Structure 1
Amino acid sequence: MRALYLVLMLLLPVAGYADNSAWQAWRESKALLLMRHTLAPGTGDPAGFVLQDCNTQRNLSSEGQQQAQRWGALLRQQHSGDITLYSSQWCRCLDTAQLMGLTPPKPLPVLNSFFAGRGDGDKQTQALLQQFSITQTAQPTVLVTHQVNFTALTGIFPRSGEAAIIALPLTQPATVLARINTP
């Protein structure tokens, strides 16, 4: 019976857990936490999308809002000091970042979605690689972005609210130290 329990525990996804060495690299600012925004049902954005008008965008559901708050709690458990928080300018990313309750997010246009021709994926990815071509940031850093950006950088198709701890300097594909399910 105990062996069956252990097998079942190994098969279940563990939300929010990563190898301690990956978290340590993030705490030491030698890695970034790259995250897809939390749950915003649907795909892409509606016709009439306007970046400055959240009413024209796909937005977080109440579950997505709760996921963002749980992310904030998890990150505060991992690091009690200051955290740099960058976000796409899309409302669902900014809302995810703000609801974490860590620090006001800094909008970073290279994290904006390029789904359905809205941006230039190659240029944005190259600009992100250049910005984080350093071996260490000043403090632990979180990037909140979209599925297409996450996939372009890592080769991983993340679920809503999923994250990866990726090593610095950034490479393409990024060196993924850990994947973290939505808490």
Structure 2
Amino acid sequence: MRSPHTFTLQRFTPLRFVFICALVLAAAIPSTRAAELSEADLLKRIAQGGVVLMVRHAQTVSGIGDPPGFDLAKCATQRNLDARGRDQARALGSRLARAGVRPTRVLSSAWCRCKDTAQLAFGSYTVLPELNSFFEDRRTEPAQTAALRERLGRLATTDIEVWVTHQVNIQALAGVSPAMGETVVLAAGQPVRVLGRLAQPVP
């Protein structure tokens, strides 16, 4: 007959051990979101500079990822903004302009839903490949995230950069999974520090 202790040890599988270790490590690592600002204070902080606004592209038509065989050079083959998303993008630009936020640079993923968000919100943008989605191919994630972390680390204290990108990219860099149209604000420098989040703009 097995003792209760033997039964407990047999149930303590390698998978459970890994899970428990992950919980312990998570508790030991300080959260990058511990000191998030209120939205009003966050807008004032953004206007001061030394920040990156990581914007998840605005609302799209329903779906996950992109249709099979999509082509970055052909927007019609991709999952794109719907009418609400286009209004969201315009509302984001208006909200930041009213708060006195004038971006130094607007950078975007090459996906059309990101470029359209950037264009509608800010009027112009430059494509930065490191912001491209790696949803379909995670092998590029470490290099892309490292490049963004390095860029954040050397951002000038007067700069306000906007990075229009995808959920997976924001999650990898900032540990945050935003809704479409939501903005995650990062402080310049290292380590990566989340100052707060701007909710989806209401058109």
Please tell me the TM-score bracket, short chain as reference: 0.7 to 0.9
**CA RMSD in angstroms, aligned pairs only:** 1.9
Letter in 2 for 1:179: R
Alignment map for 1:135-154 (pairs within 5 Å): 135-136=155-156, 139-154=159-174
Kept in 1: contact 2:186–2:193 (CA 8 A): yes
**Partner secondary structure for residue 44 of structure 1:** coil
- Matching residue of 1:117: 137
- Matching residue of 1:53: 74
Cα-to-partner distance string for 1:46-99 (whole Å, 9 max, x where unaligned): 101111110110000001000001001011112254542111010000000001
Q: 1:130 to 1:82 in 2, by over 3 A?
A: closer
Alignment map for 1:31-110 (pairs within 5 Å): 31-40=51-60, 41-79=62-100, 81=102, 83-100=104-121, 102-110=122-130
Q: 1:47 to 1:135 in 2, by over 3 A?
A: closer
**In structure 2, distance between residues paired with 1:119 and 1:108:** 18
Cα-to-partner distance string for 1:86-135 (whole Å, 9 max, x where unaligned): 110100000000011x2411110000000021761111000111122125
Pair 1:175-2:196 in alignment? no
**In structure 2, distance between residues paired with 1:34 and 1:75:** 13
In terms of fraction of residues, the more helix-rich structure is 2
Q: Which runs of 5+ in 1 are unaligned?
A: 1-16
Q: Offset at 1:141?
A: 1.6
TM-score (structure 2 length as normaliser): 0.74
Q: Which runs of 5+ in 2 are unaligned?
A: 1-36
**Partner secondary structure for residue 186 of structure 2:** strand
**In structure 2, distance between residues paired with 1:90 and 1:47:** 15
Identify which range, 75-84 or 103-112, moves more after superposition.
75-84
